[in-house]
Amino acid sequence: MATVCGFVEKIKYRNEDNGYTVLSLVDAGEEYTLVGSFHYISEGEMIEAVGSMTEHPVYGEQMTVESYEIKAPEDTAAMERYLGSGAIKGIGAALAARIVRRFKADTFRIMEEEPERLSEVKGVSEKMAMSISQQVEDKKEMRQAMMFLQEYGITMNLAVKIYQEYGPRLYGVLKENPYQMADDIPGVGFKMADEIARKAGIFTDSDFRIKCGVQYTLLQATANGHTYLPEEELLSQASELLRIEVSYIEKHLMDMQLDKRLVIRESEGKRIVYAAQYYYMELNVAKMLHDLNIRGQMPEEEIRHQLFKIQNEEQIELDEKQIQAVVEAVNSGLLIITGGPGTGKTTTINTIIRFFESQEMEILLAAPTGRAAKRMTEATGYEARTIHRLLELTGVPGDDRSIGMHFERNEENPLDADAVIIDETSMVDIHLMQSLLKAINPGTRLILVGDVNQLPSVGPGNVLRDMIDSQGFNVVMLTKIFRQATQSDIVVNAHKINRGEQVPLGKKSNDFLFIKREDPNAIINAMITLVQDKLPGYVHAKTYDIQIMTPMRKGAIGVERLNAILQEYLNPPGDGKAEKEAAGVIYRVGDKVMQIKNNYNIEWEVRNGYGIPVDKGTGIYNGDMGIVREINSFAELVTVEFDEGRMVDYSFKQLEELELAYAITIHKSQGSEYPAVVIPVFSGPRMLMTRNLIYTAVTRAKSCVCLVGMPEVFGDMVNNEMEQRRYSGLKERICEITRIS
C-alpha cells in the first residue's frame, strides 16, 4: 500500500453517476495519477489517499485509491493554492494571495468565525466576504452530508441531489419522513425510500409509509399499462407490498383523496382508484378530443369530383370505404382510420395528402417511433417525424432523464398546420396523446391511423381502442384486402389469424414458412441457421436486419436465453474485440442492442467520414435499435450507432438502459417492420400466448415470416382470444364529456 498527500491539480475525468474519477495530484512537487470512486471533491482541495500503484498499458503508472480523506490546508502556501484554484467562487489567484498574506495561518479560522474581517483585504466587499464564508461553510456541510448519506447506501450522485433539494434539512427529512424523497426527488422510488426509512428506524405502519406505498402501487400499475386500479386490487397489492393488513390501508384512501393525491370513482358498480394526475390526464384528453371533433362544410359532391381527378392522375382505384375515409378527412376535425395489413391504409393516407395539397393546405406527418416514422416517409414520399420531434422536445441535459425536458409545441405554441396525420396510433399512450393534443388547435384536422387489433401501447392507457369504443368520433374501418395484397400469404394469414381461422401450415409458400421442431434447442438451432445462412440472401438483407421475436422474456425460448446463445453464434468473442460485463450481460463490439426506456436527455451526433460531427440532437427512445461500435474501458463509455448514423456514448452505469437485441419480445416490435422475422413457437403461459400477440408478430414482416416450433401451439394461440385486461377509463371520460356537451 502507498500513501500520498497533496493537492488535486486537475480532475481529468469524472463519471457523475458513480463517482469514478481520474485526477492528477501533486505531492511535494511530484505528480501522481489517481483513479477511484471519490465523494464530492473539487480541484485545489488537499487529500490524503491510500491505495496500490499499478502500471496501466496506455496511461502509465497510476494509483488505484482504496480510501482517502479530505485535509484542511495547513501552511500558507497550501491555503493560497486551495483558495486560488477556483474552489471558492469569486477568488482568483491574485486575491487568494492577498487574503493569505493578510491573515496567514489564521485564514480559514477567519473565514469560518469572523468572515466580516475579509473586507479588510483590498478588493473584498462585505457582501463578498459573506459569500466566501457561506461557500466555505456549504462545502463543509456538503461533505458531511455526503458521508452521512453514504451510511444509508445512497450513491454519491443521488446524495448530491438530496442535498441540493433539502440542504441542512435533510437530517430532519431522513429522521421524520424519508418517504418525502420519493415525491420530491427523481430517482428515489418507494423501495429506496423504504430501505432508508428502515435504517432510520421508521415503523412499518407509519402513515407516511402507507401513503407512499399506495402511491407506488398505482405507479407500478401504470408500468403494466393501467391508468387506474379497482379498489380491491389496489388494497390487495399494497397490502402485499407493505406487508400489513388491508384494514390499515383502507382508512388512508379518503385522506389521500382529500389531499388530491387520489381520485376515487364508481365504474360498473365498483370503486376504482386513480393516481390524481392520471384521472385528470384522461379527462383533459377527452375534452381536447371533443373540442377537435367539429364538422367541415365542403359539399360531398365537390370532394368526390376532386377525388376522381386525383385517382385518374395517380392511376389508382379506391374502394367505397377508402373514398369515405377521404370525404370524412376533409369534413372532420377528428378522424380515425383503422384496418389490418393489405387493406389500403397507405393508399388512403397518400390520397388524403394529395387532396389536402390540392387545397393548398399545410400537412404534418408523424408516428410514435423512429422506425415507424421512417416507414411512413418511405410509403408517402413526405417527411414524417417522430411525435417527440414533431412537438420539439427540448431541455437541458442532466443526470435525470426527465428533468427540464418539455415540448416546445403546446397550447401556447401550437403546431402550424392545417392537418396532422399520425400513423401507428395503437402505440400512442395517454401521456403522448395529451402532449400531442395540447399542440393542436381546434380547426386543425387530426387524422389518426392504426390497426386496433395490434397490441396496445407499452405506456399506460388504451387510447385508440377507447376512442373507437366510445363511438364519439368518425371511424372508418378498412376491411377489403386488395388484389396485390392477396398474393402475399403474410397478409392473407394475418387476417385469418385475426378472425380466429386456422392457417394451413403445410401449404407451400414463398413468404410464410412453418418449420416443425419439438425441442427448444432444436428450435434455436433452426433459427440460427435461418438468420445466419438462409434468410439474408433470400430477402436481400443483412443478418442484422432479420429479427427474431418471441412472446416471453424468461424460459427456454425467452429473450434472455436466446440473446446469450445468439450472441455466441452471431458475434463471438475475438482478439481485439472489446467487451464489458454489466448486470450479468456481456456487451461486445458488434452487438445488436436495443434502448429499453425513453431517455429524453441523452445526446447523439452524426459524424462524417473523418469523425467530425455534422448533426447533433437529444433523445433515444424505448425500442430504438443500434450496434455497439466501441467500448472504452478507461473512459467507461460504450458507443452505440443507431439509425441514420446517430452515435451515442453511454457510461457503464447507463448500460441498464440497453439490452441485447438479437431476439426481442413481440411487444417491443410494435411500430417496426423487418425484411424477415423469425418466431419461435413453443408452449408458454396462456396469458402470453394470445391471438393478438401472434397477429402483431406476423404483421411485422415485410418479405418473409418463418415460424419454428410446434404447430399445435400455433393453433392454440390463434384460438386464444384472451387479452390481458388493461384498466383504462378514457372511453368513460369521452362519454361523460359528450353527455355534458
List Cα–Cα distances, 185 to 14, 15, 406, 518, in angstroms.
22, 20, 18, 51
Distance CA 552, CA 694 (A): 12
Distance CA 284, CA 411 (A): 12
Instruction: For residues 289-304, give the mean pLDDT.
Output: 92
Instruction: For residues 439-455, give the mean pLDDT.
Output: 94
Beta bridge partners, 660, equal 593
Predicted local confidence at residue 94, as pLDDT: 86
Q: Which three cell numbers stand for residue 260?
A: 388530491
Q: What tens digit of pLDDT does each residue of 627-664 get?
A: 999 999 888 899 999 988 999 999 998 999 999 999 99
Phi/psi of residue 107, each to 5°? Answer: -55, -50
Q: What is the DSSP letter of 384?
A: E
Distance CA 390, CA 724 (A): 32
Examine the pLDDT at 147 and tell me if it is beyond 60. yes
Among 571, 577, 565, which residue's Cα sits nearest to residue 526?
565
Q: Which residue has the cell 397478409?
A: 491
Least confident range from 97-111, 217-231, 283-297: namely 97-111
Q: What tens digit of pLDDT does each residue of 523-548 get?
A: 999 999 999 999 999 999 999 999 99
Q: Regarding predicted confidence, which is higher, 523 or 575?
A: 523
Among 693, 635, 712, which residue's Cα sits nearest to residue 12?
635
Examine the pLDDT at 397 and tell me if it is beyond 50. no
List Cα–Cα distances, 134 to 111, 125, 219, 290, 651, in angstroms.
9, 14, 40, 55, 34
Best mean pLDDT range from 115-124, 321-330, 668-677: 321-330
Least confident range from 85-89, 400-404, 428-432, 714-718: namely 400-404
List Cα–Cα distances, 635 to 59, 472, 630, in angstroms.
12, 56, 11
Residue 345 known to bind ligand: yes
Least confident range from 15-19, 467-471, 590-594: namely 15-19
Question: What mean pLDDT is reported for the chain?
Answer: 88
Residue 344 known to bind ligand: yes
Examine the pLDDT at 361 and tell me if it is beyond 60. yes
Examine the pLDDT at 241 and tell me if it is beyond 60. yes
Instruction: For residues 353-382, give the mean pLDDT.
Output: 92
Of all residues in the chain, the percent with pLDDT exceeding 70 is 95
- Helix, strand, coil tally for the chain in percent (to 5): 45, 25, 30
Phi/psi of residue 316, each to 5°? Answer: -125, 160
List Cα–Cα distances, 29 to 5, 26, 431, in angstroms.
11, 6, 58
Predicted local confidence at residue 630, as pLDDT: 95
Examine the pLDDT at 725 and tell me if it is beyond 90. no
Q: Regarding predicted confidence, which is higher, 321 or 112?
A: 321
Q: Which amino acid is present at 735?
A: C
| Cβ neighbours around 693 below 10 Å, total | 24
Q: Which residue has the cell 380515425?
A: 336
Q: What tens digit of pLDDT does each residue of 675-713 get?
A: 999 999 999 988 889 999 999 999 999 999 999 999 999
Residue 127 known to bind ligand: no
159 and 38 Cβ atoms separated by less than 8 Å: no
Best mean pLDDT range from 138-142, 171-175, 188-192, 497-501: 497-501
Q: Which domains does the chain have, with CATH numbers?
A: 2-144 (2.40.50.140), 175-267 (1.10.10), 293-484 (3.40.50.300), 488-709 (3.40.50.300)
Q: Which amino acid is present at 424?
A: E
Predicted local confidence at residue 695, as pLDDT: 95
Q: What tens digit of pLDDT does each residue of 333-346 get?
A: 999 999 999 999 99
Predicted local confidence at residue 150, as pLDDT: 65
448 and 692 Cβ atoms separated by less than 8 Å: no
Examine the pLDDT at 451 and tell me if it is beyond 70. yes
Phi/psi of residue 450, each to 5°? Answer: 180, 165
Residue 18 banded pLDDT, cuts 50, 70, 90? low
651 and 17 Cβ atoms separated by less than 8 Å: yes
Residue 123 — left, alpha, or beta (φ > 0 → left; ψ -120 to 50 → alpha)? Answer: left
Residue 343 known to bind ligand: yes
Instruction: For residues 434-444, give the mean pLDDT.
Output: 96
Measured in whole angstroms, the distance separating CA 396 from the mean position of its chain's CA atoms is 17
Integer Rg of the chain from CA: 31
Instruction: For residues 367-372, give the mean pLDDT.
Output: 87
Distance CA 168, CA 172 (A): 8
Q: Which three cell numbers stand for residue 184?
A: 420530491
Distance CA 177, CA 167 (A): 15
Q: What is the DSSP letter of 315?
A: T
Name the 3-class secondary structure at 350.
helix
Q: What tens digit of pLDDT does each residue of 46-68 get?
A: 888 889 998 877 778 899 988 88
Q: Regarding predicted confidence, which is higher, 396 or 246?
A: 246
700 and 397 Cβ atoms separated by less than 8 Å: no
Of all residues in the chain, the percent with pLDDT exceeding 90 is 55
Examine the pLDDT at 175 and tell me if it is beyond 70. yes
Distance CA 590, CA 573 (A): 10
Q: Which three cell numbers stand for residue 274?
A: 386513480
Q: At what angle do helices 93-103 and 76-83 cross, to 10 degrees?
A: 150
| Sign of the Cα pseudo-torsion (534, 539, 543, 547, in order) | negative
Beta bridge partners, 586, equal 581
Predicted local confidence at residue 37, as pLDDT: 79
Distance CA 43, CA 604 (A): 29
Q: Which three cell numbers stand for residue 529?
A: 441457421
Q: What tens digit of pLDDT does each residue of 31-45 get?
A: 899 998 786 677 777
| Cβ neighbours around 504 below 10 Å, total | 13
Name the 3-class secondary structure at 358.
helix
Residue 54 known to bind ligand: no
| Cβ neighbours around 719 below 10 Å, total | 13
Phi/psi of residue 264, each to 5°? Answer: -110, 125
Q: Which residue has the cell 423512429?
A: 370
Predicted local confidence at residue 256, as pLDDT: 93
Q: What tens digit of pLDDT does each residue of 593-630 get?
A: 999 887 878 899 998 888 888 898 888 888 889 999 99
Examine the pLDDT at 398 and tell me if it is beyond 60. no
